[in-house]
Amino acid sequence: MQTNIEIPNINEENTIVLHESECNGETQDTIPNYSVALALFTTFFCFWPIGVGALVSSLRTRRALQRGNLSSAKANAKSARSLTLISIGIGIILWVVIGILLGVIFGLSF
């Protein structure tokens, strides 16, 4: 069972255009989702060291999709998602700790 998908072209609006030649039931759900915007958010507002890794993985996903390398794109998208979630988790913990410390230092009560 061979699946032929011409993947993908990134147009001016940064959306993926899927040309379906012979997909055998597989459609756009086979294309990995990547979010450069979310990776940028985690870099600036959560935990930046891991956010940078998520951003790099997200950009690698986009580049792999442009080349048509679906397996590499899926692996990079999975890595970007994992790093993004880790960065968000660490960021939430850090913001809570900073809030508590500022409350203790400045005598604020919640």
Domains of the chain, by residue range, sit at 1-31, 32-106
Q: What are phi and psi of 35, to 5 degrees?
A: -135, 100
In this prediction, residue 8 has a pLDDT band, given cuts at 50, 70 and 90, of low
Q: What percent of the chain has pLDDT over 90?
A: 35
Tell me the pLDDT tens digit for each residue of 61-109. Answer: 999 988 888 889 999 999 999 999 999 999 999 999 998 898 888 876 5
pTM above 0.95, yes or no: no
Q: How far is CA 24 from CA 27, 31, 67, 68, 110, in A?
A: 8, 15, 22, 18, 58
